[in-house]
Structures are given as C-alpha cells and as structure tokens.
Amino acid sequence: MYALEEAVARFFPAGAGYDHNQAKRLIRWLDSCGYAVVAKDEASAADRVAQSAVKPLRDCLRVSTVEFGQRKSA
C-alpha cells in the first residue's frame, strides 16, 4: 500500500515521476475544507458506526393534517 502523499501524487504525473508538490497542495486543500483522506478499512468502519446512529426516516417524519375552514364568500 502506498503512503498518502505517494498515492495522491500518482494523479499528477510529472516527467519520469510524480508531482509531490501538487499532491501536498491537494491534501492541504482537502484538510482546509474539512475533509480527510482515510484508508478504506477506516472509512467502512466509520460508515457502520454512522449508519447505526441514524434513525430510520419514517421515525423522523411525522405527517400531520391541517384542516382549513371554508372561505367565506362576500
């Protein structure tokens, strides 16, 4: 498995290698936006925790009916 910077740098080919400066810039930008690059194993574990904490939609929505009076004609 590649290190984070090496894996991201592979998206930026430069000559005979890869552009690690561009990779660092992208990683810093993602971090400043509140994102983090994580391994698949970490992400899937976090997804399982998040999904178990979410209530089913039907439990969150409550349908209520409102009765409107008839409009009085002048």
Q: What does the pLDDT look like over 35-65, one tens digit per residue?
A: 988 888 877 777 776 666 655 555 554 555 5
Give 37: exposed, middle or buried? Use CB within 10 Å, 0-12, 13-18, 19+.
middle
pLDDT of residue 36: 86
Domain ranges of the chain: 4-60
pLDDT of residue 68: 53
Percent of the chain with pLDDT over 70: 64
- 52 - beta bridge partners? none
Contacts of 5 (CB under 8 A, 6+ apart): 20, 23, 24, 27
pLDDT of residue 44: 78
Does the structure show a pLDDT above 80 at 67?
no
